[in-house]
């Protein structure tokens, strides 16, 4: 894995930083990668994190939920 990461080609991605106050008034700072979505990503995340029957986990679960939600 380390070798694969070290030898991977460099590519540009959209990174952002957000600062603000938490509910208790402390200052928070978060970094995130910006993504483009066709509107189905929220449903996919909800399906992946849902409490339904789990036939798979990890990447396979994400793939299966993605296909299911895209076909809905």
16-72 per-position pLDDT tens digit: 999 999 999 999 999 999 887 778 888 999 999 988 777 888 899 999 999 999 998
> What pLDDT is recorded for position 43?
92
Q: Would you place residue 9 in the very low, low, confident or very high pLDDT band (cuts 50, 70, 90)?
A: very high
Q: Would you place residue 1 in the very low, low, confident or very high pLDDT band (cuts 50, 70, 90)?
A: confident
d(C-alpha 28, C-alpha 19), whole Å: 6
Residue of 36, 29, 30, 44 lying closest to 13 (CA atoms):
36
Return the domain boundaries, the chain: 2-71
DSSP state of 51: -
């Amino acid at each position: 894995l380390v070798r694969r990461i070290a030898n991977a080609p460099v590519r540009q991605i959209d990174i952002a930083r957000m600062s603000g106050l938490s509910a208790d008034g402390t200052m928070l700072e978060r970094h995130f990668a910006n993504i483009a979505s066709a509107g189905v990503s929220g449903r996919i995340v909800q399906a992946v994190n849902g409490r339904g029957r789990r036939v798979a986990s990890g990447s396979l679960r994400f793939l299966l939920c993605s296909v299911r939600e895209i076909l809905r």
